[in-house]
Structure 1
Amino acid sequence: MFLPLLLIALAGYFFIQLALFKHLLRTRRGRRPSIRKRLFGWLLQFATGVGMGFGIILLALLVPLLAGQYRVAFLTMPGGSLGISQAAPSPSLSATNALAILAVQSLAEEAYYRGVWMLGIVLLLGFLSRAVLGKQAFFTVPFQLILWGNAIVLSAALFAFQHAGNPNVSPLALTNIFLAGALFGLLLAATRSLALIWGLHFAWNSLLVLLGLPVSGYRIALHQHLINLTARSSGITTGGAFGPEASIPLTVVLIIVIAAVARMLPTRTKDFLTQVKMPPAANPPAEADSTETSAEK
């Protein structure tokens, strides 16, 4: 019963997310003159990120679920056997409190790793390279891709390094965390939206907690889980005690999503460069035309 419902939900879910993501890209190209429209844009970006986060985790869990690698229980209470996949739980929380904590935690991490480190690297390397290469070379798509690419890789490496001390960490877990950091960075480069990657990170962690699974080696126990997944094995299909973030299915999903986002990055970079260059270039010709017209009169 659970798996057919999951498959139906996934199918409808991804059609909705595709429509949201296309609308997001269109709205990012235009200017939003009012605060109301900007707020709507931020909420839309956050919602799109939430959808992407849920989708990535659901896809990563789909194959192990179909293969019978998880035991599914409903309306479970904390206590009892934790199962192979679950690390020692924290004191149980209500779902509301847990989600509030995860919202703050995910925002803090994205503001630090992507907002401070990644954008800081872009600004530093951009300032140094522009001084050396000049403005003409700086405002080109190839150079911007190299600039942002370096910042993405360095910030993702730092993101993975900071998780190296987590309980039950493994090389595969660190690889997936690096890939997740790279995906977050690519999305920031493609959309310039911190709200989107905040929503993605928040949904990623929240869904794992709501399903009773560890998040990067840590488990947050809730007063009650509507659906509780317990791994039947500690292999790389489920991630063991570290959680699905140490699983091969997540690796595959992340690589596919990264490839899809990376393909649209050159076009998005060109769009942003056009937005930067167009306003200064658009006004002088108009002024010149008006001057010539008045001179003719």
Structure 2
Amino acid sequence: MPPWISLAFVNRQGRLRNGWWLAAFFLVLAALLFPAILVAAHFNREVSLWEQLGLIAVATIIIQTLRRRPLVEVTGAMDRRWIVCLAIGVLLGGLLMALPALGLAAAGLLRFELAPATPQRLANTIALMLAVAMAEELLFRGVLFQRLIDGLGVWPAQALTALLFVLTHLNNPGMEGATKLWAASNIFLASVLFGLAFVRTQSLALPIGLHFMANVTQGVILGFGVSGQSEPSLLIPRFSDAPTWLTGGAFGLEASLPGLLTLLALLAGLAHFLRPSNVADGKRDYIVGSAQISRSRPRNQRCAGSDSIRGCQRSDT
């Protein structure tokens, strides 16, 4: 076989290139999803979000098995540190949506009324949002994001994944006019935030916590739309005569200026406070406030700069 053909499939270390692993992942996912869609259609229903999560998980396990790599390489080790990261993510995700809402209320642009939702409906919605957060983070920050980082580096992977994340939301209700621009900008930056959370911890716990609680706070607690979707809630927001770009309107706070500013602030804070503290002997420690999270890293992974995610990539790209 000519060398140029071989290099199209394997790198100089003799390993299959990341682009082929990405193609294999989506082929496996499609092979699992299409029969599930047919079976669901036969019974006049849709593939549930929990079923979608299961299919993404199975596809991830298959790819990791073929790569002869453990699943924890994708998810992070399910230990005490994983729980700590998840809890921190839940706290920050709540603040991400609570702060812009409080700002609007303090400015007299928003007030809340109690909603008549039942505990059962609220619990069902929370469970649904948990499935959404887990499925989307496993899909967008799992094999896809990690193979892109391995092949292209962190920032190209962030940009490509964020663009794909935006594309999957373009058909949501309310994605039109100026709202589309505000929402797309927020969703793009939210993907960057979730990606940074993974890069700095090498675990899906923090992005899952952020994603889940941001949706719960925005939708179930405060009663805003969640990416244009209306959900049962504890409160009902009532807006004064304010422009949609300031309140987000029916789409939710993720289509508003206060939401964008809060997202930028959290992104900057996460980049500053959640930082690599040590790179030595193939191991990197991460600081989240007072909690330290350790993650073993293959020795062939290089990091250019201990206080930045820039240049952190494997050497087999």
Deviation at residue 231 of structure 1 after TM alignment? 2.4
- Tell me the equivalent position of 2:213: 203
SS of the aligned residue for 1:271 comes to strand
- Root-mean-square deviation (CA, aligned residues, Å) is 2.8
1:43-192 equivalence runs, <5 A: 43-74=83-114, 76-77=115-116, 94-125=121-152, 147-169=153-175, 170-192=180-202
Contact 1:54 1:207 in 2 (8 A): yes
Larger displacement relative to structure 2 (113-122 or 231-240): 231-240
Distance in 2 (CA, whole Å) between partners of 1:234 and 1:199 is 31
Give a deviation string over 1:73-122, Cα, whole Å, max 9, x none.
12x226xxxxxxxxxxxx99611111111101110000011113211211
Does the C-alpha gap of structure 1 residues 279 and 54 become closer, same or farther in structure 2, counting only changes over 3 Å? closer
For residues 149 and 210 of structure 2, what CA distance do their matches in structure 1 show?
22
* Corresponding position of 1:236: 245
TM-score, structure 2 normalization? 0.59
Q: CA deviation at 1:72?
A: 1.3
Given the alignment, which residue of 272, 276, 282 partners 1:268?
A: 276
Partner deviation per Cα, 1:52-74 (whole Å, 9 max, x = no partner)? 10011111212111112112112
TM-score, length of structure 1 as denominator length = 0.63
Instruction: Say whether the 8 Å CA contact 1:190–1:264 is kept in structure 2.
Output: no
State the one-letter code of the partner of 1:108.
A
Unaligned runs of 5+ in 1: 1-36, 79-90, 126-146, 281-297
How many Å separate the matches in 1 of 2:141 and 2:168? 14
3-state DSSP of counterpart to 1:60:
helix
Distance 1:109 1:273 in 2: 33
Amino acid corresponding to residue 258 of structure 1 in structure 2: L
Cα 1:52–1:101 shift into 2, 3 Å: same
State how far apart, in whole Å, the 2-side matches of 1:249 and 1:48 are. 22
Structure 2 Cα separation of the partners of residues 61 and 162 of structure 1: 26
CA distance in 2, matches of 1:202, 1:279: 30
Which has the larger share of helix? Answer: 1
Name the larger-Rg structure.
1
SS at match of 1:236: helix
Cα distance in 2 for residues equivalent to 1:44 and 1:50: 10
Q: Which deviates more from structure 2 when the two are superposed, residues 236-245 or residues 171-180?
A: 236-245
TM superposition shift of 1:41: 1.8
Residues 153-173 of structure 1: per-residue CA shift (max 9 Å, x gap): 211111112111111121011
Structure 2, unmatched stretches of 5+, are 1-76, 285-295, 300-317
Give the drift of 1:187: 1.1
Helix, strand or coil at the partner of 1:165: coil
Residues matched between the structures, number:
207
The residue matched to 1:268 in structure 2 has which SS?
A: strand
CA distance in 2, matches of 1:231, 1:56: 20
- Report 1 or 2 for greater relative contact order, CA contacts < 8 Å, sequence distance ≥ 6: 1
- Which of 196, 203, 220 is matched with 2:231 structurally? 220
Q: Point out the structure with the larger strand share.
A: 2
Q: 1:236 to 1:150 in 2, by over 3 A?
A: same
